[in-house]
Structure 1
Amino acid sequence: MNIKILCVGKIKEKFYRDAIDEYLKRLSKYASVSVIEVSDEKTSENASDTEIDIVKQKEGERIFKHINERDFVVALVILGKQMDSVSFSKYIENLGISGRSTIDFVIGGSLGLSDDILKRADFQISFSKMTFPHQLMRVVLLEQIYRGMRIMKNEPYHK
């Protein structure tokens, strides 16, 4: 299985990079996982709705360059479906069983994802109704994918 984490913006903080690198290392025995960063757009503090839409559209266009037609796209959004870790694991496993060889998880920037990305998404998932920094969301997503892989293989993992 191939997993791509498509995300807006670069990670500057070393502690986030260290955590991401650790989960990528752990995941390497289960799947091919890559993190693809696209540049974020600068946004003024008091941006209008139109400016916000333009920013999300530009970031979305950058994300689209990394999505292949056959990829299964999962958008991370607050209003998406919430799952527990076991259900998430079964969901990923079922995608693999059904022949989906590449799953793209998409994490937007500080303003979220463009409407075009949301329309392209095959599934929308939420890890919480709370808002998280997109840098932290990468770590949480990778940890849950790792946990899901351990569950699939019936390997022990902290509950």
Structure 2
Amino acid sequence: MSCESSHTRDHHHEIPSPPEDGWRNSGVQVIPADSLDTNTAQTPGMNRAAAINLARAGAQKLWAGTVTIHADAKTGAHHHGHLESIIYVLKGRARMRWGNNLEFTAEAGPGDFIFVPPYVPHQEINALKDEDLECVLVRSDGEAIAVNLPDVEPVERPETVRWIDPTHKNLP
């Protein structure tokens, strides 16, 4: 049985009546790359640009956009309140530090996903000295929250943490 067929069978939802415009303007939206909005919550050391949120696309439960960290640069420590964040690395090499004193670290490259749970203090670092780090960013709510933490004192030598898939951790 395919995942799609079990998904379809397990979820019975009534489709609402279409809006007056028949979904023409309130259905699928394509946001061109050159129309992203930089008037969103920012953290020193990076440039965020919103593509999809409540104001721009009517998204009720998501915020999506891009983030660029210049070569050999890093952000200040920050968190995103109650929001979950997903970062997808398009280009470059991301070094993430997290924890109350940024005591943990891990790296991600093109094609890798990074998950940041709510309230986790973290810092994004471009691990490359000669190439911008470009990522796609998705958050679990339409609001843009960035709480900068200027008083965080990073440890000198963070511990490298390797991710282990919890659904496969007991396999040989």
Fold in common (TM above 0.5): no
Structure richer in helix, relative to its length: 1
TM-score normalised by L of structure 2: 0.25
**TM-score (norm. length: structure 1):** 0.27
- Larger RCO: Structure 1 or Structure 2 (Cα < 8 Å, ≥ 6 residues apart)? 1
Quick check: which has more Rg, 1 or 2?
Answer: 2
